[in-house]
Amino acid sequence: MASEESFVVLVHHRGSVNRKTRSGVKFTDKNPLCIVITSTTSYDDLVSAVLMKLGLEGAKRVKKFFYRIPVTVLQNTVKYDCFTINNDADLQVMFLCRRQFPEVRTPELLARLVDVVSSSGGSNRNTNTIANAAGSSSRPAVASSSVPVYEPVVQHVASPSFAVDLNATEGDEVVERENLPNALVGVALVGVGDGFLDDEDEDDGREAEAQMGTGQQFSQHLVKCIEANMKTARCFTVTLYDRDNSEFTVAETTPTGSFSLGTYRVSLASRTCDCGYFQALHFPCQHALACCAYSRVTWTSYVHSVYQISSVFNADPNRPKRCGLCRQPGHTRRSCPQVAGSSQTGHH
């Protein structure tokens, strides 16, 4: 039987995750370890190889790995994101990605190391061991390969797989520089209402009236959010598992559709999604939009009425209009006493 192909993995154990680069995610550690593994290497074997290479067995443990995962290849330019590896199934994603993206032959990981706490409550950190680790050779460590190859199991999760622990203390080796991007594109609720749903200003009513005259049903802010999310929803795989209740499972996949990056349950009937945005913002998230396209139903029926342009006039129809300048009722900004007073002062 032919032996499994071996390849090198660069394991960073210091530094942080930098997202502000042209290629996306980049690890700042300049001196990574070289670990030789195969496609049958297990998660525990990889952890043991890293700790053995560093000489930190018994003093440190690996809480998780961050994988610099390639997501797109455009004109020989590779874009990367961050994928959390916690178990054997997550590690298989790295193996599949290596086969899917032959342009990236050497995967990169960032190990988050934490102290091992003894039974007495103290840390087993050994300064002598750490000093030896600093002077260890750069010869690649070889991890054992006792686990057979298997396809990754897609699990139902309530959050994206790109889930970096943002509660890390300053003493940890890994510090996230900025929050990960939201699973929803451009959905700031404040932006939907700014200068639009405020019916106290005379100009807002005019803008809404002009938009209704052109046949628009929803605010322009909402339409832009929906269009942006529709572009992302094209990379999703939708499965119907309860036709009566309009419930689906949506798998986020890479642009090539080779493997899943996370699975979400969507209920169009109850207007909920595991990502939380559907029920929080009261209009379809990107996963719900994928389900609408799958079912060939319009997404407009799942948008709350507050986003409709007509809600501007229905908010309080009997309320007197206020001046856009002094905010007092009974006049407009053209006939505002403050404007008249300032003009008279100017003549003097």
**Choice between 78 and 136, residue whose per-residue pLDDT is larger:** 78
**Phi, psi of 262, rounded to the nearest 5 degrees:** 155, 150
Domains of the chain as residue ranges with CATH: 6-142 (3.10.20.90), 189-314 (no CATH)
How confident is the model at residue 235, as a pLDDT? 72
Q: Is 12 left (phi over 0), alpha (psi -120 to 50) or beta?
A: beta
Q: How far apart are CA 329 and CA 325, in angstroms?
A: 11
How confident is the model at residue 271, as a pLDDT? 92
Return the percentage of the chain with pLDDT > 90, whole number. Answer: 15
Give the Å distances, CA to CA, from 227 to 76, 162, 321: 28, 23, 34
- For 171, residues 6+ apart whose C-beta sits below 8 A from its C-beta are none
Q: What's the order of all strands across the beta sheet hosting 17-21?
A: 17-21, 24-27, 77-85, 60-74, 108-115, 6-12, 33-38, 141-142
Give the Å distances, CA to CA, from 217 to 186, 221, 299: 20, 12, 13
Please say whether the beta carbons of 47 and 41 come within 8 A: no
Q: What confidence tens digit (pLDDT) does each residue in 245-294 have?
A: 788 988 877 666 555 567 889 999 999 998 888 888 889 998 999 999 88
Nearest in space to 25 (alpha carbons), one of 144, 176, 126: 176
pTM above 0.75, yes or no: no
Instruction: Kindly state the average pLDDT of the residues 208-230.
Output: 74
pLDDT band at 221 (very low <50, low <70, confident <90, very high): confident
Please say whether the beta carbons of 184 and 230 come within 8 A: no
pLDDT band at 109 (very low <50, low <70, confident <90, very high): very high
pLDDT band at 96 (very low <50, low <70, confident <90, very high): confident
**Choice between 164 and 118, residue whose per-residue pLDDT is larger:** 118
pLDDT at 315 over 70: no
pLDDT band at 46 (very low <50, low <70, confident <90, very high): very high
Q: What confidence tens digit (pLDDT) does each residue in 111-130 have?
A: 999 998 765 555 554 444 43
